[in-house]
Amino acid sequence: MLRRRHIYLGLFAVLALYYLVSRRRPPPAQNLAHVTPPKIWHEPPYNTPIPEKYYHTQNTTERASAAIVILARNRDRLGMISSVTQFEEKFNKKFGYPYVFFNEEPFSDEFKREISALTTAPVQFGLIPPEHWYQPAWIDEDKASRARSKLKNAPYGDSVPYRNMCRYQSGFFFRSELLKPFKYYWRIEPDVRFFCDIDFDPFLFMQGEDKKYGFTISLPDIKSTLKGFWPAVVEFIQENPALLSPDNALEMLKDRKGYYNMCHFWSNFEIASLDLWRSPAYLKFFEHLDSKGGFYYHRWGDAPVHSIGAALFARKDQIVRPLRLCKCTRFINLRQHFFNEIGYAHMPFEHCPTGPSYERGRCTCDPAKNFDRGGFSCLRKYDELFDLNRTSTSTTVALWNGY
């Protein structure tokens, strides 16, 4: 009798313990941005110089889990040779980060041989699965083709491959098995230019400072290509307010009336976290946009999709512009510090360091050609995020009430 009571008591204790432990387990993380507590910033983070500890790590074995990611066609071979040659010269011959190339068709032997000869770093060539690339069968081709004719005067407005590319960059590249081992990537394109020596490791910087998205140029997108995009974003925000990061960068994307101001980070250059795109919140966001068919019924670009993704799901201090290059507008100049920066160009815009960074980086560009000097740059909107005199960024959908 006594023994039986002991058994019941023991069983009860085990069940109670199990109940307590399972209740204490934290809910599954929905958003990476919640992992670390937000920092209070009084000015843009790039005004704090990149710490010296991220410089000259080429002489150590310390590396981030990162890859250089390139989408290209065989016919981009010469443009790619040019980009990789400069990239190696200015940065990667010192750091040896691996390359991963992607194409929806097999790369030619010539492409593979000539690119591989430019670096001692590992190079992989991946084939994109058709379901990640081509226009899905559920897209109404008549409607899509009418949209292409309507947009024929916009850049790539009548192109299906360009649309495939935008959708792939928005929602698929980071799912590749070849990128599974990596946490960060640096995107480069054919025919881009790197003007200055890069002696710090931006990946270690991203990792060490808990950054999620790095950019060099920010500008407004072409309005005619983004029809229906903002309503889809607003709908997502309204349906999923809990998925948004608490100290996000939405404010940067609003005009005075609360509409999308078309600003986006120019995605031909990105140094970013792959886990940001792999997060359930971003995947849900992409699926929501994709379900609208706007990549094909309009010509939604990957740059606004990534920009809004980074704005919604990363804290604003996790969007970094470590590669500060310029003397910008007067307003921005007041707050600016210069770093050892990346001089970068993708036609028709470029950044070029001014002041001491220009000499330190032994840059070869013309500082007078700096994009951020012009009124077309969205950088001021980024800086305003850290202006404490402005209304702080809210995570609620109240922001969009005016829509």
For Mg ion, the binding residue among 189, 235, 275, 387 (CB under 5 A) is 189
Write down the H helix ranges in 197-251. Answer: 202-208, 229-239
Residue 365 interacts, among ligand GTP, Mg ion, none and using kind-specific CB cut-offs from 5 to 8 Å, with none
For ligand GTP, the binding residue among 31, 57, 86, 103 (CB under 6 A) is 103
73 near Mg ion, rule: CB under 5 A: no
For ligand GTP, the binding residue among 33, 50, 67, 76 (CB under 6 A) is 76
CA distances from 29 to 158, 243, 245, 279, 397 (A): 41, 10, 12, 9, 22
Q: Which is nearer to ligand GTP, 190 or 353 (CB)?
A: 190
Which burial class, exposed, middle or buried, applies to 42 when counting CB atoms under 10 A from its CB (0-12, 13-18, 19+)?
exposed
Residue 165 interacts, among ligand GTP, Mg ion, none and using kind-specific CB cut-offs from 5 to 8 Å, with ligand GTP
129 near ligand GTP, rule: CB under 6 A: no
Q: How far apart are CA 339 and CA 47, in angstroms?
A: 9
Q: Encoding tokens for residue 108?
A: 């030619």
Q: How many other β-carbons are positioned within 10 Å of the β-carbon of residue 98? A: 18
Per CB under 5 A, contacts with Mg ion among 233-292 are 268
Q: Which of 88, 189, 251, 270 is catalytic?
A: 270
Sheet holding 213-214, edge to edge: 123-127, 99-103, 66-71, 184-187, 270-273, 213-214, 319-320
72 near ligand GTP, rule: CB under 6 A: yes
Residue 308 interacts, among ligand GTP, Mg ion, none and using kind-specific CB cut-offs from 5 to 8 Å, with none
- Selected range binding ligand GTP among 66-74, 91-99, 272-280, 365-373, rule: CB under 6 A: 66-74
Host H or E run for residue 99: strand 99-103
- Selected range binding ligand GTP among 160-168, 244-252, 316-324, 375-383, rule: CB under 6 A: 160-168
- Selected range binding Mg ion among 21-29, 185-193, 195-203, 248-256, rule: CB under 5 A: 185-193
Q: Encoding tokens for residue 376?
A: 């077309």
Residue 114 a catalytic site member:
no
Per CB under 6 A, contacts with ligand GTP among 170-189 are 189
> Please, are residues 206 and 200 in contact by the beta-carbon 8 Å criterion?
no
Q: Which amino acid is at 316?
A: K
Alpha-carbon dihedral of residues 78, 84, 90, 91, nearest 10 degrees? 170
Q: Give the interface with ligand GTP as residue ranges (CB under 6 A).
A: 71-73, 76, 103-104, 161-162, 165, 189-190, 268
Q: Give the interface with Mg ion as residue ranges (CB under 5 A).
A: 189, 268
